[in-house]
Every structure is written in C-alpha cells, then in structure tokens.
Amino acid sequence: MAKLDTKALLEEFRDFLQVQRGASQNTLSSYDADLRQFFEYIDKEKRSLINFDGITETKIKNYLDHLANQNISLRSIQRKITTLRGLYKYLKSKGYAGDSPLQKIKTPRLEVDLPEIFSVEEVENLLKAPDPKTNLGSRDLAMFDLMYSGGLRVSELLDLKLGSVHWEDGSLLVTGKRGKERWVPMGRFAQQALRAYIDDCRSTLMKGRYHEFVFVNQRGLKLTRQGFWKILRSYAQKLKFKKALHPHILRHSFASHMLERGADLRSIQELLGHSDIATTQIYTQVGAHKLKEDYEKFHPRGKERLS
C-alpha cells in the first residue's frame, strides 16, 4: 500500500464528514485536531506521508500511552480513539487501508458525569427574571422558556427561523445533529413569550436588517452561542445560583423534570432528538442520585445506613 499524503487526506476526510455525515463545525474541528496530533506522532520525520497499513496495534497502544503520559484526560483519549476508529473505517471503505489496528483495543470506560440541572423552583425564578417590558428582556424570556419547554439544544434554539414556528398547532420544526429534523411542541407560556417577542420586540432589535433567524443580538445579527451563554450566566449570577452552569442546563432540566413526573423514556428520547435511548437513560441516574440525596437528608438514619 502506497503512502498517503496526510494533508490531502485530512481535507478529503473532512469533506466526507461534512457532506455525508452532516458533522457540525465543532465536530470537524475536534477530528481535525485529533488527527493532526496522531499524524505528528506517527510521522516523526514530518514528511506528511504515512502508510496506514504499516500502523500496528502496538503502535496505536504506544500512542495511547504517550497521550496518558502527557496527562491528557480519559475523556479526551476516549474521543481520540473514536476519531481514529472513524478514520480507519473511512480508509477501508476507500481501499486506502485494510483492517483497523484498533479492532482489539478497548475504549477506556469513564464514570458518567451526571448533568447539572435546575430545580423546578430555580427554573421558575429564572423565567421571572427577564423584564418582558424591554426588548432584550422579552427576547431572553422567550429563549429560556422555549429551551425549557421543548428541551432544545442551544444550537437548535439559535438556528430557529421564523418559518420554523407553527403557530396553528403550537410547535417548532427543529434541526438537530446531522441535519435531522423533528417536531417539538411549545408550551402555552413559551408560545405566549415567543409571540410577544416576535410581534413587539424583534423588529426593533433588527435595526433595519433582514434575515429569518428568530433570536438576534442588539445589532440585529443572529445571536451566537457565546452570546447566549453570556446572557444565561448573567441572569444566574444576579439570582445567586450556586449550580455549575453549562449552556444545556435548561435542556437537562427539562428532561429530568419530565422523567420525575412520570414521562415515558421513549417520549423524552423523541423530544430531545436522541438517536440512541442509552443517551437518554442518563436522566434516570439523575433521578436515582436525587433519591439518594433525599434519603440521606430526610431519613433519621439515612447516612448511617448508607455508610
């Protein structure tokens, strides 16, 4: 097997992921960085040419040991293994390489990090915080209410267009990962907040611009992920929330609160747009964790028994 030019391969593989797999820019950037790091390790002479059939299982293990010695986290190593598996699957499909040297290599298991969530009371306080009489307050209320009402990802929220809102049946057409579309119902309060924002405030914030994105910043441009994060963090600080914030905390809160109140796991999976129910099952662990906390807190001998 001839040696492959790694620069050309990176571009080809990136095009494949983007066009055929619908990978996001974040995913493309991660794959790119992981593969560059791997190629630099394998191609020590920096000739940008690699014979992938010459990469053995032992070389892969040596590379993983190299990463571990650099104190790279298990989560990052896990992602890099996934990247390499994807690359070798592509190489084989194109006839560039034979069987993957990663076939017998096990991905290191991680302890599942339970997602931080808001309590119902904290969500209510957050939704009361924006001033709906102001343009920005009306926008913020609509964003928070929609995200909690439908369990939207941040990217799904910010990619919403005016044509995606179906007022007649109170639903949204959301585009999720890999371009997968799904219908998400709007709660009554979320629908009211969105209607008030679009009808009374959005045109003023647009400042004469025209585009279809629902949520905009003060300059009338599409609100960015960084902009949303800054807004959410600002409200949480004012409310003195002590939770470890992350952009998807309202999405996780939605799923956890639905499950606590008896919603079917399959229904939650569909609403969240998870392709695999195993991803949704993490919220059952959140519930179990809460039960343990309550037991320790309220049972007279809870801590003693659990210890």
The predicted pLDDT at position 78 comes to: 87
Query: Cα separation of 35 and 32, whole Å?
Result: 5
Tokens of 144: 């928070």
Q: Which residues of the chain have pLDDT under 50?
A: 291, 295, 299, 302, 304-307
Total of domains in the chain: 2
How far CA 42 is from CA of 88, 203, 287, 295, in Å, comes to 15, 55, 45, 53
In three-state form (DSSP H/G/I as H, E/B as E, the rest C), the secondary structure along 226-265 is HHHHHHHHHHHHHCCCCCCCCCCHHHHHHHHHHHHCCCCH
The predicted pLDDT at position 274 comes to: 79
If asked whether residues 250 and 163 sit together in one domain, one would say yes
Specify whether the CB–CB gap between 77 and 67 falls below 8 A: yes
If asked whether residues 73 and 130 sit together in one domain, one would say no
Mean pLDDT of the chain: 86
User: Is pTM, for the whole model, over 0.85?
Assistant: no
Q: At what angle do helices 74-93 and 57-69 cross, to 10 degrees?
A: 150
Domain limits at 175?
A: 120-296
Query: Cα separation of 304 and 69, whole Å?
Result: 40
If asked whether residues 158 and 254 sit together in one domain, one would say yes
Write out pLDDT tens, residues 74-115. Answer: 878 889 999 999 999 999 999 888 899 998 888 776 555 667
CATH code of 258's domain: 1.10.443.10
The predicted pLDDT at position 235 comes to: 96
If asked whether residues 291 and 175 sit together in one domain, one would say yes
- Report the SS3 class of residue 133: coil
If asked whether residues 158 and 259 sit together in one domain, one would say yes
Residues tagged active-site: 153, 177, 248, 251, 274, 283
The predicted pLDDT at position 2 comes to: 66
Domain-embedded: residue 108 = no
Write out pLDDT tens, residues 114-136. Answer: 678 899 999 999 999 999 999 99
Query: Which amino acid appears at position 75 of this protein?
Result: R
If asked whether residues 22 and 138 sit together in one domain, one would say no
Alpha helix (H) residue ranges in the chain: 6-19, 25-42, 57-69, 74-93, 120-128, 135-150, 154-158, 188-200, 202-206, 225-238, 249-260, 265-272, 277-280, 282-298, 302-306
Query: Cα separation of 158 and 156, whole Å?
Result: 6
Write out pLDDT tens, residues 233-257. Answer: 999 999 999 888 888 899 999 988 9
If asked whether residues 152 and 216 sit together in one domain, one would say yes
The predicted pLDDT at position 285 comes to: 63
If asked whether residues 144 and 285 sit together in one domain, one would say yes
If asked whether residues 25 and 158 sit together in one domain, one would say no
Domain-embedded: residue 104 = no
Question: Which of 157, 288, 307 lies closest to 232, judged by CA?
Answer: 157
Question: Which of 226, 196, 223 lies closest to 134, judged by CA?
Answer: 196
Give the largest Cα separation in the chain, rounded. Answer: 71
The predicted pLDDT at position 300 comes to: 52
Domain-embedded: residue 27 = yes
If asked whether residues 132 and 242 sit together in one domain, one would say yes
What is the four-CA torsion angle of 6, 11, 14, 16, rounded to 10 degrees? -100
Domain-embedded: residue 176 = yes
If asked whether residues 236 and 136 sit together in one domain, one would say yes
Q: Look at residues 74, 93, 112 and tell me which one is the last residue of a structural domain.
A: 93
If asked whether residues 286 and 210 sit together in one domain, one would say yes
CATH code of 84's domain: 1.10.150.130
